[in-house]
Structure 1
Amino acid sequence: MQTGPQFVIVSGTLGSGKTSLIESLLNTSEDASDTAVIVNEAGEINIDGAVLSESASGMSMATLSNGCVCCSMTSDLVTTIQDLMQFRQVAGQSLFSRIVLECSGLSRPGPIVSSLQELAYLRLKLHLVSTYDCSRPPLQSADFEDAVAQLAAAHTVVLTKIDSVAIERREEAIEVVKSVSPLARVVNEFSASVRAREACASPGIIDVPIGIAQPRQSERRRLLHPRVRVFRAKYDADVPWEVALDWLENIAGALGERLLRIKAVVPGESIDDRLLLQSVGTTFSAPRRLNRETTVPLGAIVIARDCGREDLASIPMEHPVSWFNHQ
């Protein structure tokens, strides 16, 4: 019987390097046309999808941007995979060799794997990958429960941010991973391309399980992260990026440890430019210039714990900004 495509679930805490790992995988692939990527964004602005779309031409991409995939999107995930496979068949093309799901940082793999029972006929070869941020050990954070669920399920754990920590921190990370997931393979490599290649190596791949009881629809809608909320901000194109950055830093200062993640697309120096500004917690990375063909709209996604929209709306910006609850 014909074997189906490799199905790689990439989980990991917020800002732990999932998108960068997949981007490296696409950049090192000779031909991305046999790879499909499904991006689960916690917010409606598909920022990670825009970043990945710049990495490989010919790649098929789909997005799930209505919430955390492990809470409420499992049925949409099944439909998305079916649609990708059917489109490939109708086009007269061969099967994908690999489908990669980038989970949101809030997702737990268990409910996702359970939902795949409906796709057992596709004979998907399942491989679970989790990223471990050595600079922000996930088991020492408030995301402890999500991190344990991600690591415990993983066949392969990829250490990230290793160039920013001492060797002792890397060795400690390996010990932590082995204590949570003793059978997992740990990828401890400086080279981004080697990390990506090793992340999707064949050991540990298993058939999608058959016979797992499916959660009822009411259970699918139950949030596993009741204290975490996702907010979306909209603003006009005339906001200078420096002003936007100051505003985002003010948000980080006001929320402190309650802030989990910021992703924002702001205008660049010219009318056609777009800059990506991101933070993990209150730590911001350098701005990234997006491709001019990028269609992702201006706006920001803020993921925070124990925070209301009024908290964010009280932080002033020199230009008009509108806040919306997303989750």
Structure 2
Amino acid sequence: MQSGPQFVIVSGMLGSGKTSLLESLLASENASETAVIVNEAGEINIDGAILSESARGMSMATLSNGCVCCSLTNDLVTTVQDLVESRRLTGQGPLSRIILECSGLSRPGPIVSSLQELADLRLKLHLITTYDCSRPALQTSEFEDAAAQLAAANTIVLTKMDLVSNERRDEALGVVASANPVARIVDEFSSSVRAREAFLSFSDTGSPIGNGEVRQQVRRRLLHPRIRVFRAKFEEDLPWESALDWLENIAGALGERLLRIKAIVPGEGSNDRVLLQSVGTTFSAPRRLNSDAAVPLGAIVIARDCGIQDLELVPMEHRVSWFNLQ
């Protein structure tokens, strides 16, 4: 079955540069097959002719580069369905990308959970988080929301670098690597290059599990006292169903302290691999990887206010060893 459009969630604290990142993207490319969903406080300039209004009252406009932009209704699922249906009714081709700009305090977990109702669209999910170098959110009262956003991200984009010294910029780089060592970090001064790099499409397996590269990255980062990154090493092959049950037990034990899980486990065939991952406690559907992909087995767990003993207490039928990557 053919896969659907890429669904990009852009999160980040208030004022961290989400809208500027989107504006740079839309100004630099032909986005006729892109739709942008903005929250009510969104500042993207929707100064095009009104394209249509759905029966549910969702206003839509065409930007100068052909991108369709709309305002988020109370129901994200309804909004996405309206976008897809509008394209069909107007005889246009399907969308290749849908971008959601979240409000500053949104946590990605509940958003990812709501997208399960759109399973028939076969969306390819990618999460981007902006991090303001001039106002480090992990050092403020917004810590829990910021930690959830950073740990969930596939890509983290440093912003406001022109407002800080090189030392502060390096510190921000180390902090975000501490919050999520498996994310790709975009560290670019040019707004157009930053946008291009942020919205590149990458495979879910782009970050290795538990190899030397991850360990080296952990050594370079600045450790956060409340965020911990753990690696699980499987001492024997285990069915992916058993691994999923075990990871769900970890989610149940940690609750809101769990920020991210990314695991690669054996599939049904001798060379098969299955990707299991969660954003917070919300798990994506298991995904079978190409059998010829040389992907190491193991799991990465990112959590806050958690020790390795919390993970070791979760029962597991198969042998597994835990390592603190810090």
TM-score class, shorter-chain normalisation, is 0.5 to 0.7
How many residue pairs get aligned? The number is: 194
Q: 1:14 to 1:168 in 2, by over 3 A?
A: same
Q: Give, in whole Å, the separation in 1 of the partners of 2:20 and 2:63.
A: 10
- Residue 183 of structure 2 corresponds to 184
Per the normalisation by structure 1, the TM-score is 0.56
Q: 1:195 to 1:47 in 2, by over 3 A?
A: closer
SS in 2 for 1:41: coil
Q: 1:55 to 1:16 in 2, by over 3 A?
A: farther
C-alpha contact (below 8 Å) 1:125/1:205 kept by paired residues: no
- Residue 7 of structure 1 corresponds to 7
Write out per-residue CA displacement over residues 225-268 of structure 1, whole angstroms, 9 at most, x where no aligned residue: xxxxxxxxxxxxxxxxxxxxxxxxxxxxxxxxxxxxxxxxxxxx
Q: Give, in whole Å, the separation in 1 of the partners of 2:81 and 2:47.
A: 24
Q: Which has the higher contact order (CA 8 A, sep 6+)?
A: 1
C-alpha contact (below 8 Å) 1:64/1:77 kept by paired residues: yes
Instruction: Tell me how large the CA RMSD over aligned residues is.
Output: 2.2
SS in 1 for 2:78: helix
Per the normalisation by structure 2, the TM-score is 0.56
Q: 1:169 to 1:110 in 2, by over 3 A?
A: same
Q: 1:204 to 1:153 in 2, by over 3 A?
A: farther
Q: Give, in whole Å, the separation in 1 of the partners of 2:163 and 2:37.
A: 29
> Between the two proteins, what is the percent identity of the paired residues?
64
- Aligned partner of 1:56: which letter? S
- Aligned partner of 1:108: which letter? R
Task: Name stretches of at least 5 consecutive residues in structure 2 with no aligned partner.
Answer: 49-60, 206-243, 245-326
Q: Give, in whole Å, the separation in 2 of the partners of 1:95 and 1:151.
A: 30
Q: Give, in whole Å, the separation in 2 of the partners of 1:51 and 1:15.
A: 22
Q: 1:99 to 1:205 in 2, by over 3 A?
A: farther
Counting only pairs closer than 5 Å after superposition, residues 176-215 of structure 1 correspond to structure 2 as 176-205=175-204
C-alpha contact (below 8 Å) 1:37/1:99 kept by paired residues: yes
Counting only pairs closer than 5 Å after superposition, residues 1-327 of structure 1 correspond to structure 2 as 1-29=1-29, 31-42=30-41, 47-48=43-44, 50=46, 56-64=64-72, 73=74, 76-205=75-204
C-alpha contact (below 8 Å) 1:27/1:55 kept by paired residues: no
Write out per-residue CA displacement over residues 71-110 of structure 1, whole angstroms, 9 at most, x where no aligned residue: xx4xx10000011001111212111111100001011100
User: Where does structure 1 differ by over 3 angstroms across 4 or more consecutive aligned residues?
Assistant: 46-57
- Aligned partner of 2:71: which letter? T
Cα deviation, residue 187, structure 1: 0.1
- Residue 312 of structure 2 corresponds to none
Cα deviation, residue 121, structure 1: 1.1
Q: Give, in whole Å, the separation in 1 of the partners of 2:62 and 2:145.
A: 30
C-alpha contact (below 8 Å) 1:129/1:157 kept by paired residues: yes
Q: Give, in whole Å, the separation in 2 of the partners of 1:162 and 1:102.
A: 21
C-alpha contact (below 8 Å) 1:32/1:56 kept by paired residues: no
Task: Name stretches of at least 5 consecutive residues in structure 1 with no aligned partner.
Answer: 66-72, 212-327
C-alpha contact (below 8 Å) 2:32/2:65 kept by paired residues: yes
C-alpha contact (below 8 Å) 2:105/2:145 kept by paired residues: yes
Q: Give, in whole Å, the separation in 1 of the partners of 2:82 and 2:146.
A: 30
C-alpha contact (below 8 Å) 1:34/1:59 kept by paired residues: yes
Q: Give, in whole Å, the separation in 1 of the partners of 2:82 and 2:62.
A: 23
